[in-house]
């Protein structure tokens, strides 16, 4: 994987963020997602790589672009698998709340789990707690393990959980253990990545979210030296069959980091669409837009925060069109 590819991918997430941010707070999540997807796809055509989408907007008959199996890049450069979420947090943008991101990840060909669009139970932590967590252990035991690893009391640990009815038991156990909780409406890729940055104030992620988002988070945490564990949670026979076709015959199998993203190299990039603990969202000032992006590479361990200033005069695809 070429070093220059890292910076090229920043242009992809920046374009998606700029396009979708125009829809912030307007209650139209589909339009925001379409804008991000179109912008991301257009820039991918210029990237020097031979990419194949393994996690995207759906199957070929479900999505007009960035569908699973679609070829990306200009046909030159390394052969890579690509995972994308052009707008991670469509509801967040529609409501104008926190932590919406434009996200992508790439890994060497054949090294990324082709996660089906179903639920995944997850637990994620940053570098200090690697090797200390166990998705099969109790919430309380994991909280104690993270507290010990980070040299603080359980009462000072902050857990992030998607605010869903299915998580009532987890939420209650966290409270009973004396830890603190940050309940989030959406966006568990951001929540998982936040565990690896001290200034976000987040120590651990618990709960069930999307499996594709779990793989994206795994690539980010691989670059950061963190850890995520996951277990697929099929809801019906059809989803169980998809697991079997992937070669996962034991539905209780714990997917470790190397199961989610193998190999020694991967790149993760995310641009803030709305403000969050980690990244500022897009701001528009006259004919200019500003972005903030984090881009990381596993092989080098490099993490870059990039502030972008963009002229929008010659970018009509970034201008919102009314119906």
Angle between helices 139-149 and 168-177 (to 10 degrees): 50
Phi-psi map region of 201: left, alpha, beta (phi>0 left; psi -120 to 50 alpha): left
Q: Are 89 and 273 in contact (CB under 8 A)?
A: yes
Q: What is the pLDDT of residues 110-135, one digit of tens each?
A: 999 988 889 999 999 999 999 999 99
Q: Report the binding-site residues for Mn(2+).
A: 33, 57, 85, 88, 213
Q: Which domains does the chain have, with CATH numbers?
A: 4-111+265-311 (3.30.540.10), 119-260 (3.40.190.90)
Q: What is the pLDDT of residues 39-93, one digit of tens each?
A: 999 999 999 999 999 999 988 778 899 999 999 999 999 999 999 999 999 999 9
Q: What is the pLDDT of residues 217-275, one digit of tens each?
A: 999 999 999 999 999 999 999 999 988 887 788 888 999 999 999 999 999 999 999 99
Indicate yes or no: pTM above 0.85. yes
Q: Report the binding-site residues.
A: 33, 57, 85, 88-90, 119, 164-166, 186-188, 210, 213
Q: What is the pLDDT of residues 299-322, one digit of tens each?
A: 999 999 999 999 987 654 444 444
Q: What is the pLDDT of residues 167-190, one digit of tens each?
A: 999 999 999 999 999 999 999 999
Instruction: Report pLDDT for 209.
Output: 97
CA 133 to chain centre: 20
Q: Are 312 and 288 in contact (CB under 8 A)?
A: yes
Q: Report the binding-site residues for substrate.
A: 88-90, 119, 164-166, 186-188, 210
- Residue 82 to residue 89: CA distance in whole angstroms: 19
């Amino acid at each position: 994987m070429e070093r220059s590819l890292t910076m090229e991918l920043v242009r992809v997430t920046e374009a998606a963020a700029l396009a979708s941010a125009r829809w912030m707070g307007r209650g139209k999540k589909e339009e925001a997602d379409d804008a991000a997807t179109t912008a991301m796809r257009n820039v991918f055509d210029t990237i020097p790589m031979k990419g194949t989408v393994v996690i995207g907007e759906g199957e070929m008959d479900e999505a007009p672009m960035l569908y699973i199996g679609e070829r990306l890049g200009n046909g030159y450069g390394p052969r890579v698998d690509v995972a994308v979420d052009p707008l991670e947090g469509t509801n967040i943008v529609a409501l104008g709340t926190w932590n919406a991101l434009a996200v992508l990840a790439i890994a060497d060909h054949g090294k990324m789990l082709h996660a089906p669009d179903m639920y995944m139970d997850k637990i994620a932590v940053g570098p200090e707690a690697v090797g200390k967590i166990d998705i099969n252990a109790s919430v309380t035991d994991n909280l104690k393990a993270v507290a010990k690893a980070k040299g603080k009391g359980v009462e000072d640990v902050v857990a992030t959980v998607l605010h869903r009815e299915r998580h009532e038991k987890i939420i209650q156990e966290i409270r009973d253990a004396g830890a603190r909780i940050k309940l989030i409406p959406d966006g568990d890729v951001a929540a998982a990545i936040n565990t690896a940055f001290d200034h976000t104030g987040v120590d651990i992620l618990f709960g069930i979210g999307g499996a594709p988002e779990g793989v994206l988070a795994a690539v980010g945490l691989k670059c950061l030296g963190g850890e995520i564990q996951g277990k697929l949670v099929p809801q019906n026979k059809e989803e169980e069959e998809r697991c079997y076709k992937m070669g996962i015959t034991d539905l209780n199998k714990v997917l470790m980091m190397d199961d989610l993203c193998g190999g020694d190299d991967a790149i993760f990039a995310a641009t803030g669409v709305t403000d969050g603990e980690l990244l500022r969202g897009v701001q528009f000032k006259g004919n200019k837009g500003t972005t903030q992006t984090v881009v990381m590479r596993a092989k080098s361990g490099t993490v870059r925060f990039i502030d972008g200033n963009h002229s929008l005069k010659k970018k009509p695809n970034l201008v919102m069109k009314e119906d």
